[in-house]
């Protein structure tokens, strides 16, 4: 029971704290509402669960054999997050426009996990901290993934609901533009530690 409680606590704290997933969901909630953003929310939760399973089943060993592969994924992830920040900032000027971009789909939310630096840190950290080598490894891996699957919906969903509530408060194009620019900036800030890590690796 103590073991399960520890996993749940880790899942809650890592899922509800600010990060690219939550910023993206909250921005979608503001601009498109809860209903249209549900595929994105579901994609994020399902995608991260699959990622946890695959990391546990061998991706961590693969990265130990090919460290450059992890570095390449990290670089691609940073570029994609910066591109996402650009899209969010760009949409700020077109909140009331018919040409506004559609919310991200289920598949984009799921695939986004593979270039999300925070998702990699959480996934590898969870597997390393809460599994032991032996006969129970697979069952522990599945249990961790299922725990995150159950916990992530309400934790990430809070950000979606908050974004949707802000939709009523930010009822002018200007206020929504300010919000989108702020979220874009926060997304860039969230990437800075990874950029510094990449820079440090390149200069070594």
In this prediction, residues 15-38 reach a mean pLDDT of 88
Provide the domain limits for residue 93: 2-12+19-203
Write down the mean pLDDT value for the chain.
81
The number of folded domains in the chain is 1
Closest-CA residue to 145 (of 49, 21, 55, 65): 49
Closest-CA residue to 15 (of 34, 41, 53, 35): 41
Q: What is the pTM of this model?
A: 0.74
pLDDT exceeding 90 applies to what percent of the chain? 21
C-alpha dist (Å) from residue 14 to 22, 88, 146: 11, 23, 15
Tokens coding 108 = 């984009």
**pLDDT tens digits, 11-25:** 888 888 778 898 889
**pLDDT tens digits, 93-131:** 544 433 446 788 999 899 989 888 788 888 887 887 777
Cα–Cα distance for residue pair 18/73, rounded to 1 Å = 22
């Amino acid at each position: 029971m103590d073991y399960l409680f520890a996993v749940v606590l880790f899942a809650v704290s890592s899922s509800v704290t600010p990060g690219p997933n939550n910023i993206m969901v909250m921005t979608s909630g503001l601009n498109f509402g809860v209903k249209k953003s549900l595929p994105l929310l579901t994609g994020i939760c399902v995608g991260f669960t699959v990622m946890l399973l695959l990391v546990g089943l061998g991706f961590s060993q693969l990265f130990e054999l090919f460290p450059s592969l992890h570095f390449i994924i990290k670089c691609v992830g940073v570029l994609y997050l910066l591109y996402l920040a650009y899209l969010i900032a760009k949409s700020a000027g077109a909140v009331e426009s018919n040409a506004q971009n559609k919310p991200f789909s289920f598949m984009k939310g799921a695939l986004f996990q593979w270039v999300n630096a925070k998702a990699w840190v959480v996934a590898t950290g969870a597997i390393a901290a809460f599994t032991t080598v032996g006969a129970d490894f697979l069952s522990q891996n599945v249990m961790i993934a299922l725990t995150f699957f159950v916990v992530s919906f309400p934790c990430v969903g809070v950000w979606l609901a908050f974004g949707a509530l802000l939709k009523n408060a930010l009822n002018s194009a200007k206020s929504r533009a300010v919000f989108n620019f702020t979220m874009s900036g926060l997304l860039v800030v969230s990437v800075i530690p990874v950029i510094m890590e990449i820079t440090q690796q390149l200069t070594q």
